[in-house]
Amino acid sequence: MTYERSRGTRDNNECGVLSLCTNGVDTDPNFEKNPFYRDAVLSQERPWQIKFRGNYALPARINFGWDYRWLKGRPYGAIQYCYTTDLQCDPYGQTIYLEPRDARREPSASLLNLRLAKEFGLGAVTVTGVVDVLNVFNTQYDSNTNILNDINGTYGRESARRGTAVSSFGKPYSLTAGRQTRFGLRVEF
């Protein structure tokens, strides 16, 4: 089980994921004095993660393994990019915070992977057949480091297909892979 509490003003992937930046150091007064920017958790924070992993040896050289993960959803707040407004600001780099960065939270997610393996002894050779079922419950959660939080954001391909704008606000940037079943064979000699 892990607990995370990330705070600061420099909200980017390097802070929340790689811890490479200097959190809390931003001298731009537009950000420094803006409580929506200043007083919130960083967008990469998953405050709680719980993992259970194990393997159980059954009779007849059969092994059963599991990997379960539960992840608390990441925070996000509504923004609008300067180029979509009539305001006098940098149209390429300025973000307008419409609410605190942690005003909303994506849904929490859980992921279960299972493995069943059977060993066969063939003289000096051991052959193991393996079946993995990944993402057993076909959970679709945001596996990327970004939540789409621009109130004017749209999904381009889906919008074109439907012939009308499809909002991407509060929706995932990319989803984890759906349920997969893998078969494997391991030979030891």
- Tokens, residue 116: 């069943």
Three-class SS of 5-65: CCECCCCCHHHHHHCCCCCCCCCCHHHHCCHHHHCCECCCCCCEEEEEEEEEEECCCEEEE
- For residues 133-142, give the mean pLDDT: 91
For β-strands 79-81 and 95-97, DSSP reports them as antiparallel
Please tell me the distance from the alpha carbon of residue 18 to that of residue 13, in angstroms, as a whole number: 7
What integer pLDDT is reported at residue 24 of this predicted model? Answer: 47
- Tokens, residue 26: 């931003």
Domain containing residue 42: 2-6+15-188
Structural domains in the chain (count): 1
Give pTM, 2 decimals. 0.71
What integer pLDDT is reported at residue 46 of this predicted model? Answer: 82
- For residues 80-91, give the mean pLDDT: 70
- For residues 80-89, give the mean pLDDT: 72
